[in-house]
Amino acid sequence: MTYSRLAWWFAGYLIAVILFGAWVRIGGAGAGCGNHWPLCNGDVLPVAPAAKTVIEFTHRVTSGLCGLFGIAFVIGAWRMGDRGVLRAALATLFFILVEGFVGAVLVKKELVANDASVSRAVVIGLHLVNTLLLMAAATAMAWRAAPLVVATRAAGRGWLLAAMGVLVLTNMTGAVTALGDTLFPLQPTLDGSLLAKVREDFTAGQHFLVRLRAIHPFVAVFCAAFLSGVVASIRRGYAGDLPMQSLLHWPLGLVVGQVVLGAVNIVLAAPGWLQIAHLLGAQVLWVAVCASYLAMGRRVG
């Protein structure tokens, strides 16, 4: 039980680090340590650092701690002797290492700050996929150590997995959209000009990041409808299983919240604080869906 509590704490810590990384992007602090990695401007500890250097260096420290925590969880799982927890802990450590590698690529290739290249968009998308896999592994590590809910059956698990795939795609387009919103900011739209701005974003003369950011809302709406339909259908199949019904209530509520945040994000032209709130909602939704999937994998009765 102690292992599970610590693992849930770690999942929360990972989300905090992810949000910190978004703040680094929004604040243009990604180049705060130059193109040096793991050193910062050629030094182990930055000397007389500027504000952006402090932000980037702090983000590196908090990210580096993830690796130490990951090793500790692997050792703890090995001592527990639970193969399921150990596999999840090893997967968590692996994705932490991949996360560090992708971060190093972004820095070394200078795909930070005001860079608006295709390479940065591709790496950002892949970075987000790895982040979701990391969160899924960390959730599995905590859940398998002490399941909070155990389903009576696994009906609809395949459909939920398909919905998770759609959710990953939605998050990828969201990451590219957030990059475009940061590099090509808009003014808040409080009048009837929203559709005109969307049409303008699709014009051939616009930067590809501007054109791509208009796609995410459509993908997100489809994902919300598909995920809600799948979860609602599965939830109906658990009539009488109150713990599972309660667990499946979380993805449904979080989807609604994300749609609302997304709409406000568009109207207010994606201010930094709202981007972070939207990202927080996306991560919590992902954890809730992963937990639902894991609960259906271990049955009683």
DSSP the chain: -HHHHHHHHHHHHHHHHHHHHHHHHHTT-TTTTTT-SSSBTTBSS-SS--HHHHHHHHHHHHHHHHHHHHHHHHHHHHHHT-HHHHHHHHHHHHHHHHHHHHHHHHHHTT--TT---HHHHHHHHHHHHHHHHHHHHHHHHHHHHS-S--BS--TTHHHHHHHHHHHHHHHHHHHHHHHHHHHS------SS-HHHHHHHHTSTTS-HHHHHHTTHHHHHHHHHHHHHHHHHHHHHTTTT-HHHHHHHHHHHHHHHHHHHHHHHHHHTT--HHHHHHHHHHHHHHHHHHHHHHHHTTSB--
pLDDT value of position 262: 92
Same domain as 232, residue 157? yes
Same domain as 224, residue 126? no
Same domain as 164, residue 142? no
Same domain as 157, residue 141? no
How many whole angstroms separate alpha carbon 241 and alpha carbon 156?
15
pLDDT value of position 188: 67
Same domain as 172, residue 110? no
pLDDT value of position 201: 62
Please, what are the averages of pLDDT over each run of 10 residues along the chain (301 residues)? 94 97 89 84 80 91 95 96 95 96 90 86 92 98 92 82 96 90 73 58 70 85 96 90 92 96 87 94 97 77 34
Same domain as 174, residue 107? no
What angle is formed at CA 197 by the lines to CA 191 and CA 199, rounded to 5 degrees? 135
Domain boundary among 117, 146, 175: 146
Range(s) of the domain holding residue 268 = 149-301
10 Å CB burial of residue 2 (0-12, 13-18, 19+) is exposed
Q: Residues 6 or more apart from 153 whose CB is under 8 A from it?
A: 237, 238, 296, 299, 301
How many whole angstroms separate alpha carbon 170 and alpha carbon 165?
9
Could you tell me the pTM of the whole model? 0.91
Same domain as 135, residue 167? no
Same domain as 126, residue 67? yes
pLDDT value of position 299: 44
pLDDT value of position 4: 95
Domain boundary among 112, 146, 180: 146
Same domain as 64, residue 128? yes
Domain boundary among 146, 179, 199: 146
Number of domains into which the chain is organized: 2
Same domain as 200, residue 58? no
Same domain as 142, residue 11? yes
Same domain as 158, residue 48? no
pLDDT value of position 43: 80
